[in-house]
Amino acid sequence: MGISPVLWQFLVKWLHNSALFPAEASTIAPYTDELYFFLILVSIFGTLVVLALVVGFSVKYRREKNPVATQVEGSTLLEATWTIIPLAIFLLVFVWGGLLYFRIYSPPANSMNIYVVGKQWMWKAEHPTGQHEINALHVPVGRPVQLTMISQDVFHSFSIPDFRVKREVIPGRYSTVWFQATDPGVYHIFCTQYCGTQHAGMIGEVTALTPDDYQKWLKESTSGMSLAQNGERLFASMGCNSCHSGNAAARGPNLAGVYGSRLTMNDGSQVLVNDAYLRDSILNPSQHVTAGFAPIMPTYQGQISEDGLIDLVEYIKQLQSNYRVQQTQLTSESNQAAPTTPPQSSNEMVKP
């Protein structure tokens, strides 16, 4: 072939850079691909059947060969066949897809949690141990990772094609997705829900690391404060501790160990305390009044950012005893009593 070497090299490079199939880099991916290949087979089979019928009949009954058509009204048997067989295949696909859906959207109990905040146009990942990343996410391989995600503004959608997972990131409520990476490497994060001008720029990279490398990364990139520690500071500075002190006479319910428990509300209903509940009861307290307490908590809507809410949620999640809450409260009260103390010292005192 008379193709010039330059062009040839260019073509080779170009094709080398191209991709036809995504990497299988999570435990979910093989399951998704299985269904995908099954569906492709069904599609090819279905298309071939229709093609064979159309081409076959067209050749056999073209006008040259069959000048006069034979009128046929229809056939209940045939029609029943092509109603029932597709229906059976579709139902099989439905069951299979449903099982896969529950697999993808049901996180294992032992998964580690990372928070993700989407905003125009970036992904902010916050690790409980205090690492903050923008448009990047470091995860260990071989461990289930759950992302608790929320949007600060519009709908986004968090997608890692090589892990075959995706979930809408919605303003005003937490959504979750989980995966377990299998191969160390760097994979794309896309925002797949159109979110405004720089939608195509809302991309990032998830880096799957071996457990050793992950530990190394955790040490190198720590900010010094875990989310719970940030939350503790916020808890004190917003004055939450004045009511939620855990004292018998406190005006707010005791928060130690509340996460994961079932609470009885003042209207008698029972709720499970999870991330979404904690967040919503800070923003819309009057809709979440625990039995035996007065609806006196003010709303913090518009006063705490989504990051701050995550800090608070993470703090309350880990709160097992009220000792430090009460200590902090005493300190801040004594600070208020002695105005000579510089105001920022109260923050200093909270620090571990």
Could you say which residues in the range 260-299 bind another protein, by CB under 8 A? 283-287, 295-299
Q: Is 24 in the site for another protein (CB under 8 A)?
A: no
One-character DSSP codes across 195-238:
-STTGGG-EEEEEEE-HHHHHHHHHHT--S--HHHHHHHHHHHT
Specify the stretch interacting with another protein by CB under 8 A; choose among 184-192, 206-214, 215-223, 319-327.
184-192
Which residue's CB is nearer to another protein, number 233 or number 288?
288
CA–CA separation, 39 and 48 (whole Å): 14
In the complex with another protein, which residue's Cβ is closer, 39 or 349? 39
**Closest distance to another protein from the beta carbon of 247 (Å):** 23
* Residue the block writes with tokens 């993470």: 314
Among 36, 219, 264, 327, binds another protein (CB under 8 A): 36
Three-class secondary structure of residue 77 per DSSP: helix
**Which residues within the stretch 161-180 sit at the binding site for another protein (CB under 8 A)?**
161-162, 164-168, 170-173, 175
Pick the piece of the chain touching another protein (CB under 8 A) from 53-61, 209-217, 224-232, 240-248.
53-61
145-151 vs 112-119, strand pairing mode: parallel
Q: How far is the CB of 225 from another protein (least distance, A)?
A: 28
Q: What three-state secondary structure class fits 245?
A: coil
| Residue 32 binds to another protein (criterion: CB under 8 A) | yes
Report whether 236 contacts 328 (CB < 8 A).
yes
The single residue among 1, 2, 7, 70 that binds another protein, judged by CB under 8 A, is 70
Q: Inter-axis angle of helices 227-237 and 323-337, to 10 degrees?
A: 40
Give Cβ neighbours of residue 342 (< 8 Å, ≥ 6 apart).
none
Q: Does 134 bind another protein (CB under 8 A)?
A: no
Question: Residue 211 or 295: which CB sits closer to another protein?
Answer: 295
Q: How far is the CB of 138 from another protein (least distance, A)?
A: 20
Element (DSSP H or E) covering residue 185: strand 185-191
Residues that contact another protein, how many (by CB under 8 A): 101
Write out the DSSP string of 113-182.
Answer: EEEEEEETTEEEEE-TTS-EEESEEEEETTS-EEEEEEESSS-EEEEEGGGTEEEEE-BTS-EEEEE-B-
Q: Which of 1, 4, 7, 14 binds another protein (CB under 8 A)?
A: 14
Task: Give the end-to-end CA distance of the chain in Å, rounded to a whole number.
Answer: 73
- Output the CA torsion 66→71→77→78 (10° steps): 40
Q: In this complex, which beta carbon is closest to another protein, that of residue 298 or of residue 352?
A: 298
| CB nearer another protein, residue 168 or residue 213 | 168
Stretch that binds another protein, among 62-70, 140-148, 237-245, 310-318 (CB under 8 A): 62-70
Q: Does 87 bind another protein (CB under 8 A)?
A: yes
- Minimum distance between the CB of residue 346 and another protein, rounded to whole angstroms? 27
Residue 36: CB minimum distance to another protein, A: 7
> Which of these segments, 85-93, 206-214, 317-325, 331-339, binds another protein (CB under 8 A)?
85-93
By CB under 8 A, the residues from 104 to 133 that bind another protein are: 104-105, 120
CA torsion 289→293→297→299, rounded to 10°? 0
